[in-house]
Amino acid sequence: MPIKKKKNQQPQRKNFQSPKGMHDSLPADAPYWEKIETTVKACARDHGFSRIEPPILEFADLYHKASGEESDVVSKEMYVLKTKGGDVLALRPEYTPGICRSYLEHHLSRHGQPQKLFSFGPVFRHDRPQLGRYRQFTQMDFDIVGGLNDPIYDAEIISICAEILSALKINTFTLKLNSIGCRVCRPAYNRQLQSYYKSHEKELCEDCKRRLATNPLKLLDCKNESCRKLKEKAPDILNKLCVNCSAHFKSVLEYLDEVRVPYVIDHHLVRGLDYYSRTVFEIFADGKEEELGALASGGRYDYLMETIGGHLTPAVGAAPGAERLIAAMKSKGIMISKKTQKRIFLAHAGEPSKKKAFSLLKDLRAQGIMVVEALAKESLSAQLKIADKEKIGLALILGQKEIFEKSVILRDLAAGAQETIPLEKIAGVIKKRL
């Protein structure tokens, strides 16, 4: 009798591939990743940010509360799972809610304020994969949390993103900036938006028709073609901002002018996540806006902490996305070459000397010497071919005779000249010769 396939049972795979929208980071891209990592970490250190890493899994309702039920990230894109214990957890679709949860749970408000926090890791969104849009991608999150809601912090966060792009040689980019107001001034703007969009209700997509009553600001972020067209004539918020929000925005611009970060004010820029207030921004590589989307984006989120059970806590943050930075670097022809490190090759001349070579390898590495080897290869010539492939000019060769004499051959592979050096002196000689 044929075995019945259980409901939801996965097909039996013979060949495996990575899941859709999730990618292997291969050795060829390692120099790009290293460059991004060192750049971002140096930037974090120079600006006084400390690393914080919340777990990849959080309770799903943290995101429902913080990012908003209506946001695409929560309503459509979150990977949710039920544990054996019955908890409903989500793979983080973004960093900010987890960082705020951690700030509250560990009473970081009792430490010096503001806390400058930095994270670097994978995030997950069940999005429609395409170039620059993946289901697993890597964010570098910078957040300034607590203290005052001083506009200088908004400018610092934006300036950090610009510094990272410049350090990666992505020098032609556009920073779009807006203020979406606060609890005082946004309700009036929302009403204005509602009345504008109501008169065009038939042209709206189904999502926007639904969101019109609950979250009209979201309509400005809709990617649907007909909603995008309507946005062009939608009222903008800048002349609806209250005095405090206007002053805050003006100061952000002045600080950016001061550090010579150019910007374009986009009166219709809003972000997909519910928690933003006042400053919002996105940065695009010139000529790649449609293709890649924003390279970095963020804004102020003064109300988030309150939404998840804390006190009102000023905060502002941004997240550049590593995969898009790499794509932008490649599209601009920015090559990252492997650093040429000073290395020596170690070879053995036959099986009995292999063990001794293995122990010499350990000793040299312990003294900080970078040694490349192919000890598993039998013949000396096969080993030296690897040295040639790796473009290493200096080799150590250990044979039976050398073991007996407690020495090793040091060969200049280009010139073919060689000399015998006592083992106890070899580390010093190599250091001088490399």
Site for ligand AMP, rule CB under 6 A: 94, 125, 127, 132-134, 137, 139, 272, 294-297, 319-321, 323-324
Strand pairing class (418-422; 407-412) = antiparallel
DSSP state, 57?
A: E
Q: Which DSSP letter does residue 386 get?
A: H
User: Is the Cβ of residue 94 or residue 163 nearer to ligand AMP in the bound state?
Assistant: 94
Q: Min. distance of Cβ 385 from ligand AMP in angstroms?
A: 41
Min. distance of Cβ 161 from ligand AMP in angstroms?
Answer: 9
Residue 296 or 397: which CB sits closer to ligand AMP? Answer: 296
CB of 284 to ligand AMP, least distance (A): 9
Question: DSSP class of residue 29?
Answer: G
Helix (H) or strand (E) holding 119: strand 115-124
Q: Which is nearer to ligand AMP, 123 or 360 (CB)?
A: 123
Nearer to ligand AMP, 321 or 399 (CB): 321
Q: Report, in Å, the least distance between residue 19 CB and ligand AMP.
A: 14
| Contacts (Cβ under 8 Å, ≥6 apart) of 218 | 70, 71, 208, 211, 270, 272
Angstrom distance (rounded) from CA 39 to CA 380: 41
C-alpha span between 208 and 213 (Å, rounded): 9
* Distance of alpha carbon 81 from alpha carbon 308, whole angstroms: 21
Q: How far is the CB of 126 from ligand AMP (least distance, A)?
A: 10
Closer residue to ligand AMP, CB minimum distance, 67 or 353:
67
How many Å apart are CA 406 and CA 419, to the nearest integer?
Answer: 14
Cα separation, 275 vs 300, whole angstroms = 8
**Of 395, 414, 281, the residue nearest 347 (C-alpha):** 395
Q: How far is the CB of 168 from ligand AMP (least distance, A)?
A: 13
Which alpha helices (DSSP H) does 216-373 contain, by range?
Answer: 225-231, 243-258, 289-292, 304-307, 322-331, 351-366
Largest CA distance in the chain: 94
Q: How far is the CB of 324 from ligand AMP (least distance, A)?
A: 4
Residue nearer to ligand AMP on the CB measure, 156 or 323: 323
Q: Which is nearer to ligand AMP, 98 or 272 (CB)?
A: 272
